[in-house]
Structure 1
Amino acid sequence: MLLLFMMLLQYGYGNDRELFEQFNITNERNPPFPFEYDVETGLDLVLVRCPGHLFEYEPNEVTFGLSTQALEYKMPILENSDRKTAWRIAIYDDIRIKNFTYTCAELTPKGDFLKQRYDWNIKLTWTETPGPLLTNVTKANLDVENLASPFECLQEDSIKLVKHLDGKAKIEEYKHRETEIFRNELIYIFGKGQLDTPKSLFVPCGITQQ
């Protein structure tokens, strides 16, 4: 019993893997990357659930670090309150293909728990060719006191992300009457109440356009 307890103490506690259901059906020493998700929307911007910057895979055995992609759009508003998980922005930007791989983080062994370095990859496959300009895009009047949301987004508070179109796509949180936005740029709206859910993908409830 003492030996079993020591083994559990070494490898069974102090990690956050249970926050991702994929680790319930696999050997954590051989991570099942990439996680594969079908994106059942025609929108070109979605949020994917990744480990946050305080996530611990196996703290005494594995060095955890956020990827370059995750750091590019690291927004406090998209982090879970305990900072163990976070939503990251994935943008479909190549119309020639319907899938791409998003890298959340990097796992580097510093003991014998993992035999090699792993990228925490997510493979996203769109079921239809995405694009932002669909029938659910509404025109926004930014001169009003309170920005109106599309009908599909009226049930709860929302998070708004604007995609700037000056050269390479740039995403930032949209704050009404604070964030500079130009003609034809898009505001993606997400229901705020879904941020703390364990779902893997988060799609906009609507889009407005300047």
Structure 2
Amino acid sequence: VIGGLEISGRFGAGLDGVINEAGDGLAFIDLGYRQDASLSTEVLDVEELRAYGNIYSTIPGRSAFSSRLRLPFYVLPGDLLILGPLLFFIDQEALVSVGVSSVNGGLIPWQRGIETSFGRFQFVLGREVAVYLYGRTKTPDALVTYSTKENGIEDLFVISYCSTQLEFPILEYRPFRSFDADQRSSLFIQIYGAADFPHDVKVLESVTGTTIPPVLETVWSLGLRLVFDWRHYL
């Protein structure tokens, strides 16, 4: 289990719920910063090593610069980036029709919002993607890991590395929304899937003295985000 805290600023168009309660015309891009706590599992389950802090966690605490993009789509994620400019010059009536359909859940409206007495649910897979760039600060991310060589000998490493995480929200639940003339606030929960791709691995220390880094595998995960969203309308 990993906990984290993220803060970001975004710019976009907040048109969700304007055409109807089921519609979602929310489109934005944001930039932010994220700080993660350490993973709760450890590389070596040895009581004496816990005094050395979180470097022995499978994934120690780390920070990342983040960016997030959200955009409705007609048939395939991101298709409005191509259809929009084309239809603007070819057929503007078709552009309006495609835009309205996209806001209302797409050509196959499986992403329409579902309003209930206790909140709003919506499948958002493909509408939003986030990128997290770990290890880009002045202090590189580091961890302790081990690898078994072909001859069966195990080696213990201290390595530095960078990683890029892609996050794809799947389901969104908004228990409440509050409106005013020029601002809005809401609290919502997202269930998401993510893939973390490590790269630029360097050996800082090793028991055998080797400088050949071990192979770090892609980490796949499911997560839950609790988000407070405040907007000011221009």
For Structure 1 versus Structure 2, the TM-score category normalised by the shorter chain is under 0.3
Flag the structure with more relative contact order, 1 or 2, with Cα contacts below 8 A and sequence separation at least 6. 1
**Structure (1 or 2) with the larger CA radius of gyration:** 2
TM-score (norm 1): 0.26
Q: Which has the higher strand share?
A: 2
Could you state the TM-score of these two structures normalised by the residue count of structure 2? 0.24
